[in-house]
């Protein structure tokens, strides 16, 4: 689900190795001083298929927001469920 701002923060990792994704997350996406423990991967096409857009701003590097979420919460929930089904979870060893 997107936050109340309806700007779902993501990183574009196409072409990066698993090691590079981990390193990027450690530099740019720590939570409470801890490196990310996992990350999800979803094809941009799955996002676009839900009539959402990817607005890349590269601040920090490789950052983008998924935008275009509907105002209705039930519609956002349905889209989020479709995206979750299309995504894969990668847990760090």
Q: How does pLDDT run across 4-56, given as a tens digit for each residue?
A: 999 999 999 999 999 999 999 999 988 888 889 999 999 999 999 999 999 99
Beta strands in 1-93 (DSSP E): 8-11, 38-41, 53-56, 63-67, 88-91
Q: What is the pLDDT of residue 32?
A: 83
What is the model's pTM?
A: 0.92
Q: Is residue 29 part of a domain?
A: yes
Q: Is residue 2 part of a domain?
A: no
Closest CA to 39 of 78, 69, 13: 13
Q: Is residue 3 part of a domain?
A: no
Q: How many domains does the chain have?
A: 1
Q: Is residue 1 part of a domain?
A: no
**Which phi and psi angles does 3 have, rounded to 5°?**
-70, 175
């Amino acid at each position: 689900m997107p936050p109340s701002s309806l700007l779902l923060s993501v990183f574009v990792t196409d072409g990066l190795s698993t090691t590079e994704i981990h390193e990027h997350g450690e530099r740019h996406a720590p939570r409470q001083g801890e490196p990310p423990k996992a990350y999800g991967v979803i094809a941009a096409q799955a996002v676009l298929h839900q009539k959402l857009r990817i607005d890349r701003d590269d601040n920090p590097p490789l950052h983008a927001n998924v935008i275009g979420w509907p105002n209705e919460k039930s519609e956002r929930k349905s889209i989020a469920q479709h995206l979750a089904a299309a995504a894969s979870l990668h847990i760090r060893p």
